[in-house]
């Protein structure tokens, strides 16, 4: 693990979006890209709320083989088209080494999901790119294992790494996972990389996403990855943890006030 004296390495995604400085960056959108109409509605709401980064899964790793696994390359094209229409950046997941060239071409940030945190060939592949990579913590991984996974990416030359705490599996069953805010605070001290939080996957419950987001920012998170959907009840993936678009203004207001209390601001 890195020492507290290690120089910080902010990640510049675009001229106006940098993770690891004073701004807290919101990355908002649905769990999965379902259609052009869905993504356009989300992008419009994100822009009106002042957001800069559009999230959405094109390749979806689902526990059940019978669940919706995304639109694949078509989903990537929808994401890019809608983001360009509204002047947004794109973050989406590369599920396999074979997906990396397509995702790298169309996304501004490449996401490595929790299940793939120790998929070393995938880490090496994104490590050879000159593009920001968001590395989610494995849901049963220690902090040391998480940081060593980041080292695999950096070992291939790419140090544009964003760490994401997305909750870990514990004995507690009332929530989907347990958001480890201790990890956010610790990794901010011991790692050179920016750290963001995913309160949607951490809780699995829409009513807990905003409270979890507030605690993450209070613990020092540099950004938030949050699921918003035009109609969560009709979502093809993770509707129970998705917030309706109508909550975006309230979300921005409450999280923004926490950021301000911490001497930061919500970009």
Could you give the number of structural domains in the chain? 1
Rounded-to-integer distance, Cα 137 and Cα 115, Å: 9
Q: Structural domain of residue 28, as residue ranges?
A: 21-266
Q: For residue 240, is it within any domain? A: yes
Q: For residue 86, is it within any domain? A: yes
DSSP state of 233: G
Q: For residue 8, is it within any domain? A: no
Q: For residue 5, is it within any domain? A: no
The CA-based dihedral angle spanning residues 152, 2, 169, 209, taken in that order and rounded to the nearest 10 degrees: -100
Q: For residue 31, is it within any domain? A: yes
Q: For residue 7, is it within any domain? A: no
Q: Report the CATH number at residue 175.
A: 3.20.20.70
Q: For residue 6, is it within any domain? A: no
Rounded-to-integer distance, Cα 58 and Cα 105, Å: 14
Per-residue model confidence as pLDDT tens for the chain (267 residues): 444 456 899 999 999 899 999 999 999 999 999 999 999 999 999 999 999 999 999 987 767 776 677 789 999 999 999 999 999 999 999 999 999 999 999 999 999 999 999 999 999 999 999 999 999 999 999 999 999 999 999 999 999 999 999 999 999 999 999 999 999 999 999 999 999 999 999 999 999 999 999 999 999 999 999 999 999 999 998 899 999 999 999 999 999 999 999 999 998
Q: For residue 256, is it within any domain? A: yes
Other beta carbons less than 10 A from residue 37's beta carbon: 11
Considering the entire predicted model, what is its pTM? 0.94
């Amino acid at each position: 693990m890195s020492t507290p004296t290690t120089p910080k390495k902010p990640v510049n995604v675009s001229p106006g979006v940098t993770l690891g400085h004073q701004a807290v960056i919101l990355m908002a959108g649905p769990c999965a890209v379902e259609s052009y109409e869905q993504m356009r509605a989300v992008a419009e709401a994100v822009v009106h709320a002042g957001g800069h980064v559009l999230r959405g899964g094109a390749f979806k790793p689902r526990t059940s083989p019978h669940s919706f696994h995304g639109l694949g390359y078509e989903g990537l094209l929808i994401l890019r088209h809608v983001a360009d229409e509204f002047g947004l950046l794109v973050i989406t997941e590369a599920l396999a080494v074979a997906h990396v060239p397509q995702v790298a071409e169309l996304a501004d940030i490449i996401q490595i999901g929790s299940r793939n945190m120790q998929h070393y060939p995938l880490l090496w592949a994104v490590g050879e790119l000159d593009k920001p990579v968001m590395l989610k913590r494995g849901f049963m991984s220690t902090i040391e294992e998480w940081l060593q996974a980041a080292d695999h990416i950096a070992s291939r030359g790419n140090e544009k790494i964003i760490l994401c705490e997305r909750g870990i599996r514990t004995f507690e069953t009332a929530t989907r996972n347990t958001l480890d805010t201790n990890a956010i605070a610790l990794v901010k001290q011991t790692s050179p990389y920016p750290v963001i939080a995913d309160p949607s996957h951490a809780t699995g419950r829409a009513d807990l996403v905003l409270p979890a987001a507030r605690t993450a920012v209070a613990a020092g998170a540099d950004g938030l990855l949050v699921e918003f959907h035009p109609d969560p009840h009709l979502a093809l993936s993770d509707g129970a943890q998705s917030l309706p678009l109508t909550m975006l203004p309230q979300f921005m207001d409450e999280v923004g006030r926490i950021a301000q209390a911490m001497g930061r601001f919500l970009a």
